[in-house]
Amino acid sequence: MDFNTLIAQFVSGLSVAMLLFLVASGLTLIFGVVNVLNFAHGSFYLLGTYFTYQLMQMFNNFWVGLLVGVIGAGIVGMVIEVLFLRRIYGRDQEGAFQLLMTYAFILIIDDVVKFIWGPEYKTIPKPDALMGSLNIGTTVVPTYNVFIIVVGLLVVLFAWYFLTKTDKGKMVRASSLDRNMLGLLGTNVPMIMTLVFGVATAMGGLAGILAAPLRTVTPGAGVEVIIDSMIVVVIGGFGNFWGALLGALIIGEVLSFGILWMPELATVLTFIVMIIVLIVKPEGLLAKKMVGRK
């Protein structure tokens, strides 16, 4: 195998990693701040792609579709948080009920998508501006993959800046540590929860839309992605933003090179990586506090 193929495969792995990171960091954000394991997170990935598909049928413009898809996924997320999830916060055995409720939304959203758009595969073409390929040294890589990496990096930078440097970001971090105290200090905590939920589901939607031109759009895509991103989150360390990034990079590259070297085992490789990490470091690679048994 020559050097150029390696670089091209590496870049392709990076773009997969960035998509996984967008989904996994949304999952992490919801879990860390709202304290909900959003099992339906993949459904927002799915909704984003179908909203974009619909808009592209109407206006034939990728960027309008992208915008509407992202906002749409965020709005649906916020509506679900306000109307349903909010009602079970703090209940006895909350975790089990959250799982059930978000699971119910997978069933509902999947069927609604099938009902509106049909079960057959759909395609979303790449935007014209990102059709070609770029030369990196002597290696040729598709422009679209570079675009995904750039968008992913922008989201990482923005999230880091927002969470560590702004007052609003400090409120979000504070609400993940002590909701009651923040509420007593006069902050509208339920609104923060709803907004965080909306931003995170919008990120999931964004990942789905960016992935759509590389894969096909099908009603089952949401579940595939939720399992991959859960592995990312488990590997990186639960509730840890940088852990999600590291985990996504590892899994992205494992998937990318796995398909090249061991096509038979590619889908199973990610689980094997996860099991190895769990045996060596059960709390995840970057977890600060031990999440294991007390």
Partner 1 sequence: MKKLKDYLPWIAYFVFFLGILIVNPGTHYIHLVSRVIIFSLYAVAFNLLFGTTGLVSFGHALFYGIGAYITGMLVKATGPEYFLLFIVLGAAGAAFVSVFIGLLTLRLTGVYFTMLTLAFAQLVWGLTFKLYHFTGGDDGIQAIAKPAMLTGGVTKYYLFSFVVVTICMYILWRIRKSPFGSVLNCIRQNPQRITFLGLNVYKNQLKAFVISAFFAGVAGGLYAGLDGSIHPDMLHWPTSGNAILMATIGGMGTFFGPVIGAAILTGLEEIVGKYTEYWSFSIGVVVLIVVLLFPRGVLGIKRLAGNKNKEEKETEVVCNS
- Binding positions for partner 1, rule: CB under 8 A: 31, 37, 84, 87-88, 91, 93, 95-97, 99-101, 103-108, 110-112, 114-115, 223, 227, 230-231, 233-234, 238, 264-265, 267-268, 271-272, 274-275, 278-279, 282-283, 291-294
Query: Please, which residue, 27 or 70, has the CB nearer to partner 1?
Result: 27
Least distance in angstroms from the C-beta of 15 to partner 1: 23
Query: Please, which residue, 261 or 271, has the CB nearer to partner 1?
Result: 271
Query: Please, which residue, 150 or 268, has the CB nearer to partner 1?
Result: 268
Query: Please, which residue, 105 or 241, has the CB nearer to partner 1?
Result: 105
Q: Residue 94 has which token pair?
A: 């909350």
Which amino acid does the sequence have at 153? Answer: L
Cα distances from 275 to residues 108, 224, 272, 278, in angstroms, run 32, 18, 5, 5
Query: Please, which residue, 137 or 263, has the CB nearer to partner 1?
Result: 263
Least distance in angstroms from the C-beta of 278 to partner 1: 6
Which secondary-structure segment (H or E) carries 105? helix 94-117
The tokens 């409720």 sit on which residue? 101
The tokens 């990496």 sit on which residue? 149
In whole angstroms, give the CA distance from residue 88 to residue 83: 10
In whole angstroms, give the CA distance from residue 236 to residue 222: 21
Least distance in angstroms from the C-beta of 267 to partner 1: 5
Least distance in angstroms from the C-beta of 88 to partner 1: 7
Q: Residue 193 has which token pair?
A: 């929860």
